[in-house]
Structure 1
Amino acid sequence: MHLSHQLGIVILFLSFLCSSVKSMYFFLEGNNQKCFMEELSKGTVIDGNYKTQEYDSKSQSYRENPSSSILITIDEIFDKGHRVLNQRSGSSGRFTFTAADSGDHLICVMATTKNWFSKENTKLFFDMKFIDNVFDNSQKEDAEKEKLSSINMKIRDINSKVASIKREQQYQREHEIEFRNQSEATNSHIMYWLIIQFVIIVATCLWQMRHLKNFFTVKKLV
């Protein structure tokens, strides 16, 4: 019981180290964008969720507008502002991103409206979960093992099929040999029977000729 409790604490501690969550909400005016910088290590995964609400002047409250959209961009500051993510989605949704290299990343969000010069306020709820790819090597090793295991299974399956084909071919050869032997034996039996019949016919003819000769001699016809 004590060991399982310690194991649970260790797992919880590793989970805390491997991931962090940032939740925030802020207001955007018109088509202005909000940017913030994050230093990400290589392999860090960002799992983000967002939801927007536009200000309704009639009800004087913030409400969801299905026709609105949001633009999310991520630029690599260390690589001369190279843009690695440019995603436009609806008023609410989710996005994921994996850092290809370590360094500062500029994350920007912008709520877009139909009217470019609109000054309406948009409330944006934004939360991001940062997952460090600590187990990347082990995951790759597991994937490689699974891939090798799959290849080995396919090789064994192919070898089994080849062995089955060889057994079938061997059976066919043995069957052909047996059929040929039976055919040759039958042909030889037929040949022997024909020879015996020929001998019997010749003997019968000779006996009949001798019998007729004796008959004619007795009757003094010859």
Structure 2
Amino acid sequence: MRTNISGFALVLILGLFFTQIHSLRFDLESGKSKCIAEDIKSNSMTVGKYHVVNPNEGYPLPDSHKITARVTSTYGNSYHNADNVPDGQFAFQTAEAGDYMACFFAADHKPPITITVDFDWKTGIAAKDWTNVAKKGSVEVMEMELKKMYETVQSIHDEMFYLREREEEMQELNRSTHSKMNMLTFVSVLVCLSVAGLQLWHLKTFFEKKKLI
């Protein structure tokens, strides 16, 4: 039983780390945009860097291979803006929880071209450069490892509370939806019975006038 719990905890921790690191390469057609969303909790550090891949290795990057980048929060707050650049980076601490969107746009060209973009986005523990922390503070190896462990545990703790809050929000939404559906069902049944009653009354009145009953 303890082995199963340990294995589950290991999978959970690894899953948390993997969801905190997003490195990808994608193609962006001229005149079009592409957006990447990341669900980040509040008070979490996030860093990202991107660059246009040179289609001709060993030669200068063509002037046409430049992009516009925007990073915004779920509430529309802007955290990064860059126009007509070959590369860039951003770093900030989130003020609110939710989906953060990184959007890239390539200017229109005739004939159309395809730009390859390399994008690396990290959040939480993965966003902290521990090597630089050790160099700047002259921290001993053991102290550094302990700090990393503490930050990891704190991150997992915060992630668990964040997931619990999201679960409570979903449960509240389900309860609200269920209550509205019950009310709608009751109103529908009431309307159907009322219509049926009116139809019976109308038929009865009609037959009485015709002296059929």
Which of the pair has more CA radius of gyration?
Answer: 1
TM-score, normalised relative to structure 2: 0.43
TM-score, normalised relative to structure 1 = 0.41
